[in-house]
Amino acid sequence: MIELISQQPIFAALIAMVGLSILFGGLLGYAAEKFKVEGDPIVEQIDELLPQTQCGQCGFPGCRPYAQSIADGDAINKCPPGGQATINALANLLGVPAPELDQEHGQESEVKTVAYIREDECIGCTKCIQACPVDAILGAAKLMHTVIADECTGCDLCVEPCPVDCIDMLPVEETIADWKWSTPAKPGQMIATDRRGELGSNTVQEDAA
Amino acid sequence: MNRTWVTPGGVHPPENKHQSMTQQIGSLPIPDKLVIPLSQHIGAAAAACVEVGQHVLKGQLIAEAAGVVSIPMHAPTSGTISAIEHRPIAHASGMLAPCIEITSDGADSWIEHQGISDYEHTSPEKLLEIVANAGITGMGGAGFPSAVKLNPGRQRPIDTLIINATECEPYITADDSAIRERAGEIVDGIKILSAILGHPHNILIGIEDNKPEAIAALQPHVESTGISIVVFPTKYPSGGEKQLIYILTGKELPAGKLPADLGMVCINIGTTYAIKRAVIDGEPLISRVTTVTGEAVGTQRNYDVLIGTPVSHLLAHNQFDQERCSRVIMGGPMMGFSLPSAEVPVVKTTNCILAPSYAEIPEDEPAQPCIRCGMCAEACPVSLLPQQLFWYAQAQDHDRLEAHNLFDCIECGACSYVCPSNIPLVQYYRSAKGEIRQAHDEKIRSDHARERFEFHKARIEQAEQEKEAKRAARREAAQQAKSATATNGSSGGSSAADIIAAAQARAAAKQASPEDQRAKLERTIAATEQRLQLAEEKLAEAVASNSDKQSVFSAAVENTRQKLEQSKSKLAELAE
């Protein structure tokens, strides 16, 4: 046997190659089992970018199911609370062009809001407590309810079930602590074609039409 | 002579310091109303501990520190607390913040107070407590509580104490004039600081070479004290903490580190004076030296101003010319901000009120496009790339902004100063910093919301499972019962008759023994006899009074008698 191998180098090469492929194949197989990633990492990454409002405006019961759906090829412009910023971030992550927000699912609101229960009018029906996706409403049957403003995501899912319409969505007031400087107006455009920005956008619209 | 190092970049704007140095530090009449904001510092706002209508004395505590990184506030003069409410404060946003208003009684009478002359034999802890209780913050600009800075902990021994007398920004001369007139007290303050920090090896006073009089005033007081005065060439911005540390020691403070991590503490020279007053004289921080300058005021000079004095009061006593003034700035022309109204009060960090004329500081010219000349990069004292930051700030590219160390920007304004296109670069950076912070906060909030949502989902699922389990258990029990009756049914003939028989059997089983039944019947008979007697009495009464209820009562008597007879016959049956 050894004689045959030493006389016929083709066999030596074959044995070596086969041996190496078995070895590396085994290693790869072991690594695939040992370092197996649980779940779909892209879903995690998409879920990280979604605003976690859990409002269901996208048509899915929460942010994670929508993340799963995006990973399966759904459109990325169905999240009004996240708005254009979220769409851009998702487009960046997935390497696709960023579309505009799909108005069918709602409009991006300028100000952040939180739910507020007019406590005098609350009848203690617990319907809003059941509707809240993040357990931000406190109360018990036949007792007054109230919203923990810090935990409220502003999803407004509690507004609709309220039988006495005592829940308002109030804008979060800016305080000195979270005030920030505004961005200055853009400097003047020097290049002639940039200056004719309006003209440029017109032609784009015409092209699209 | 100590060696000095040279920081990169920097600019040399016109100093304009001589205008306010022609006179000594002045004082102003006490304003009618003083407004003390509860937050004049970095950290938690103080908590008011007085009530509206209460009379307070000068130096009396009116707001307590809320937490470790916070400072108390004291009444700057005697008078009555006339309001505790939201007022405009010295903040670029122009927003309102909680303030205490004191209506002065004009007496300016001090609360009883006492200092310690023998600070060298007092424990550092005690001195630190005095500094904390006197409400002292850094008076250079940022307003970090001094007691926190002076207490770096055992694991960070301090070997260098740096006193910042740079005052590099144009127009401001508050520290310069204070050194000229109060050098002795300032050096006392430095000695107290040294005692608090356990007598560090090096005590350096960093001062620019444009203040020869101040240097000369300090010189005699520091001889044979181990304090060295380090003079270095004037350049803006040398007064930043990180810049000064580099100039004096050649050490660069890494991003995100504090000077204490390098064994240093850096204190503004104005603060040392306040510390001296607190320890030796027992006076809390209720006044400070503030420069009032600019061509729109008639007298340009420094004043010892009570904290809480409205800026309008300062201007009114200096022949302020509203017509000529382009804007009122708190702080210097490089890092200060335009005041939303002249009613805002002077706070512990107000080193300058600048009221320039239109010629002095004209309105901002419209910004032109960036031509990538690179002058901003040359001027940047932190060696950042301002033009790149500008680019990414416009694109709101937060990742790249952070990668280009936006958060190391000290917002000194040197880049905006040299920009030939008049681009308000610093405002872009401030806004971008705000946006990044906001995005960061939102990320934390959204992670928190996700956690809560997942917990909510898990809770609902668990409740659902428990319900399902109960339902299954009930179903099983029902089925068992069914099968049990089915087996009984197969052995005992027709079901309807069976059920009736079973019910009768159960009823019989429920009935008590004959003795019990007899006792019960006897009780019933006794009770009925009593009722009969009552009814007969009532009937007799009705008959006597000839009432129309006679018939009703006679029926009742008859009824009761029947019942009694029924019970008696049952008892007889039972006896058989």
Instruction: Specify the pLDDT at position B29.
Output: 93
In a domain, A180, yes or no: no
Q: What CATH class is the domain B18-354?
A: alpha beta
Q: Are strands B79-88 and B96-104 parallel, antiparallel or unpaired?
A: antiparallel
Quote the domain boundaries for residue A24. Answer: 2-34
Q: Sheet holding B227-232: strands in order across?
A: B227-232, B202-208, B160-164, B264-268
Instruction: Specify the pLDDT at position B469.
Output: 95
Burial class of A87 by CB neighbour count within 10 A (0 to 12, 13 to 18, 19+): buried
pLDDT in tens, chain B (576 residues): 688 999 999 999 999 999 998 899 999 999 999 999 999 888 889 999 999 999 999 999 999 998 889 999 999 999 999 999 999 998 888 888 999 999 999 888 999 988 888 888 889 999 999 999 999 999 887 889 999 999 888 888 899 999 999 999 999 999 999 999 999 999 999 999 999 998 999 999 999 999 999 999 999 999 888 899 999 999 999 999 999 999 999 999 998 889 999 999 999 999 999 999 999 999 999 999 999 999 999 889 999 999 999 999 999 998 898 888 888 999 999 999 999 888 999 999 999 999 999 988 888 888 888 999 999 999 999 999 999 999 999 988 899 999 999 999 999 999 999 999 999 999 999 999 999 999 899 899 999 999 999 999 999 999 999 999 999 999 999 999 988 877 765 554 556 777 788 787 777 766 656 777 788 888 888 888 888 888 888 888 888 777 677 788 888 888 888 888 888 888 887 776
- Strand pairing partners for B287? B306
Angle between helical axes of B269-280 and B124-133 (0-180°, round to 10): 100
Q: Please, are residues B361 and B14 in contact by the beta-carbon 8 Å criterion?
A: no
Binary contact (A181, B427; C-beta < 8 A): yes
Choose from B376, B452, B457 for mutation: most chain A CBs within 10 A. Answer: B452
**DSSP secondary structure, B476-524, as one string:** HHHHHHHHHHHHHHHHSS-HHHHHHHHHHHHHHHHS--HHHHHHHHHHH
In a domain, A83, yes or no: yes
Overall domain count for chain A: 3
In a domain, A189, yes or no: no
Q: In A, which residues are within 8 Å of B411 by CB distance?
A: none
Q: Which residue's entry shows tokens 């520290």?
A: B175
In a domain, A100, yes or no: yes
Q: Does A46 share its domain with A98?
A: yes
Residue range B119-167, pLDDT digits in tens: 888 899 999 999 999 999 998 878 899 999 998 888 888 999 999 999 9
Q: Does A161 share its domain with A115?
A: yes
Q: Please, are residues B297 and B320 in contact by the beta-carbon 8 Å criterion?
A: yes
**Cα dihedral A28/A32/A34/A40 (nearest 10):** 160
Q: In B, which residues are within 8 Å of A50 by CB distance?
A: 446
Choose from B70, B453, B455, B461 for mutation: most chain A CBs within 10 A. Answer: B453
Cβ contacts of residue A196 below 8 Å, gap of 6+?
Answer: none
The token pair at A159 is 């507004």
- Rounded to an integer, what distance in angstroms lies between the CA atom of residue B545 and that of residue B536? 14
Q: In A, which residues are within 8 Å of B437 by CB distance?
A: 180
In a domain, A96, yes or no: yes
Instruction: Specify the pLDDT at position B537.
Output: 86
The CATH number that applies at residue A152 is 3.30.70.20
Q: Please, are residues A130 and A86 in contact by the beta-carbon 8 Å criterion?
A: no
Which DSSP letter does residue B16 get? -
Q: Please, are residues B15 and B334 in contact by the beta-carbon 8 Å criterion?
A: no
Longest dimension (CA), chain B: 134
Instruction: Specify the pLDDT at position B467.
Output: 95
Cβ contacts of residue B87 below 8 Å, gap of 6+?
Answer: B35, B37, B96, B97, B98, B99, B101, B343, B345
Q: Does A97 share its domain with A64?
A: yes
Report angle CA A93, A97, A101 to the nearest 5 degrees.
95
Q: In A, which residues are within 8 Å of B91 by CB distance?
A: 176, 179
Q: How many residues does chain B have?
A: 576
- Rounded to an integer, what distance in angstroms lies between the CA atom of residue B188 and that of residue B183? 9
Binary contact (A182, B431; C-beta < 8 A): yes
Residue range A149-180, pLDDT digits in tens: 989 998 889 999 999 999 999 998 888 878 88
Q: Which residue's entry shows tokens 């190092």?
A: B5
CATH of B368-480, one of 1.10.1060, 1.25.40, 1.20.120, 1.10.10: 1.10.1060
Radius of gyration of chain B (CA): 44
Residue range B498-543, pLDDT digits in tens: 778 878 777 776 665 677 778 888 888 888 888 888 888 888 888 8
Task: Tell me the whole-structure pTM to 2 decimals.
Answer: 0.77
Q: Does A51 share its domain with A96?
A: yes
Q: Which residue's entry shows tokens 């510092």?
A: B41
Is the bond preceding residue B237 a cis peptide, omega within 30 degrees? Answer: yes
Q: Please, are residues B295 and B321 in contact by the beta-carbon 8 Å criterion?
A: no
In a domain, A153, yes or no: yes
In a domain, A160, yes or no: yes
Q: Are strands B96-104 and B33-37 parallel, antiparallel or unpaired?
A: antiparallel
The residue ranges of every structural domain in chain B are 18-354, 368-480, 514-575
In a domain, A195, yes or no: no
Q: In B, which residues are within 8 Å of A178 by CB distance?
A: 438, 441
- Rounded to an integer, what distance in angstroms lies between the CA atom of residue B16 and that of residue B14? 6
Amino acid at A53: T
Q: Does A12 share its domain with A68?
A: no
Distance from CA of B326 to the nearest CA of A (A): 20
**DSSP secondary structure, B134-155, as one string:** TT-B-SSSS--BHHHHT---TT
Alpha helices in B232-290 (DSSP H): 241-249, 269-280
Choose from A55, A84, A180, A182 for mutation: most chain B CBs within 10 A. Answer: A180
